[in-house]
């Protein structure tokens, strides 16, 4: 894998650092030590830092600081309180992306549903296929959503996927898992992109707002949560629908606007 000293997006400190991993956390004191131990193995030879954007009320940030210091990883914790937590997971991920310095930014959950070894496969795919976005997909050969909790969640996930595929057919052609929470993005792609996700579907926001980005996928075997408690709630369904509608209108308006200007 290409790393230190390789040519990046242009000039700048990102040339020295290949990857920033962004992990949003809320009350993950049970999973954080397990995750950090796995990341220390996986990222041992990768010029990378790990940014935890934390909205916890428990001792998750202290645990991350302690385990991070012992792990040899370059770990940063951005802890948010009060109004800074507004938007929850979605604003946490955007804040992490904006704090990142690596050539690539990878977003993953803290509960080990996203196997850390896949980070290396995603980086390789990004470099070898010159991709702007690499998605860890549950829906390609070799992937699976077995770790998704219960039949109803699997059904909701299936309906949600086909809804967005129907609303954004051209942009999502060939994309099998537009709602995955595990993905890697070339950071330069997002430099001038305004991201306004609502809820948990940040990848969809990025895909719709970066029209010509090259997308590749690697298979994800979505694992069960390693420990701790799910933060998924029913109101996420409402957030998802609101977010999808906003993106739909944004895209239609922009399209009409572009046509009017060129016509």
Ligand X SMILES: Nc1nc2c(ncn2[C@@H]2O[C@H](COP(=O)(O)OP(=O)(O)OP(=O)(O)O)[C@@H](O)[C@H]2O)c(=O)[nH]1
Please check whether residue 195 is in contact with residue 210, taking contact to mean a CB–CB distance below 8 angstroms. no
DSSP 70: H
> Which one of 45-53, 84-92, 108-116, 117-125 is the stretch in contact with Mg ion (CB under 5 A)?
108-116
Q: Which CB sits closer to ligand X, 24 or 47? A: 24
Structure-token pair, residue 29:
């004191």
Q: Which CB sits closer to ligand X, 94 or 123? A: 94
Q: Which CB sits closer to Mg ion, 231 or 250? A: 231
- Phi, psi for residue 86 in degrees, rounded to 5: -55, 135
**In the window 8-67, what residues touch ligand X (CB under 6 A)?**
24-26, 28, 53-55
Q: Which of 111, 205, 217, 239 forms a contact with Mg ion (CB under 5 A)? A: 111
Instruction: State how far the Cα of 179 lies from the Cα of 82, in Å rounded to an integer.
Output: 28
Residue recorded with tokens 């904006």: 98
Q: How far is the CB of 175 from Mg ion (least distance, A)?
A: 21
Q: How far is CA 101 from CA 54, 66, 104, 187, in A?
A: 18, 23, 8, 8
DSSP 28: -
Partner interacting with residue 115 (select from Mg ion, ligand X, none; CB below 5-8 Å by kind): none
Q: Which CB sits closer to ligand X, 165 or 231? A: 231
Number of shown-chain residues binding ligand X (CB under 6 A): 20
Instruction: State how far the Cα of 25 lies from the Cα of 50, in Å rounded to an integer.
Output: 12
Instruction: State how far the Cα of 98 lies from the Cα of 32, in Å rounded to an integer.
Output: 22
Please check whether residue 57 is in contact with residue 142, taking contact to mean a CB–CB distance below 8 angstroms. no
Q: How far is the CB of 204 from ligand X (least distance, A)?
A: 14
User: Is 90 a residue that touches Mg ion (CB under 5 A)?
Assistant: no
> Which one of 9-17, 68-76, 107-115, 187-195 is the stretch in contact with ligand X (CB under 6 A)?
107-115
Residues that bind Mg ion (CB under 5 A): 109, 111, 113
Q: Site residues (CB under 6 A) for ligand X?
A: 24-26, 28, 53-55, 88-89, 92, 109-111, 113, 149, 200, 225, 230-232
């Amino acid at each position: 894998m290409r790393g230190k000293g390789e040519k990046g997006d242009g000039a700048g400190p990102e040339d020295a650092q290949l990857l920033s991993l962004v992990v949003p956390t809320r009350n993950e004191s049970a999973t954080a030590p397990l995750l950090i131990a796995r990341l220390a193995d996986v990222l041992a030879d990768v010029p990378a830092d790990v940014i935890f954007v934390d909205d916890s009320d428990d001792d998750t940030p202290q645990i991350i600081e302690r385990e991070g210091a012992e792990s040899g990883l370059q770990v940063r914790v951005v802890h948010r309180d009060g109004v800074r937590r507004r938007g929850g997971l979605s604003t946490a991920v955007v804040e992490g992306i904006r704090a990142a310095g690596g050539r690539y930014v990878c977003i993953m959950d803290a509960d080990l549903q996203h196997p850390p070894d896949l980070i290396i496969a995603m980086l390789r795919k990004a470099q070898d296929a010159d991709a702007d976005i690499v998605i860890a997909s549950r829906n390609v050969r070799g992937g699976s959503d077995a770790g998704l909790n219960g039949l109803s969640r699997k059904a909701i996930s299936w309906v949600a996927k086909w809804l967005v595929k129907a609303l954004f057919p051209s942009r999502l052609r060939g994309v099998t898992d537009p709602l995955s929470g595990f993905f890697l993005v070339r950071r330069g792609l997002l430099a001038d992109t305004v991201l306004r996700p609502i809820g948990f579907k940040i990848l969809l926001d990025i895909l719709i707002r970066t029209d010509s980005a090259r997308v590749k996928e690697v298979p994800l075997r979505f694992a069960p949560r390693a420990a701790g408690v799910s933060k998924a709630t029913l109101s996420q369904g409402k957030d998802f629908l609101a977010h999808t509608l906003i993106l739909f209108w944004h895209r239609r308006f922009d399209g009409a606007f572009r046509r009017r200007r060129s016509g």
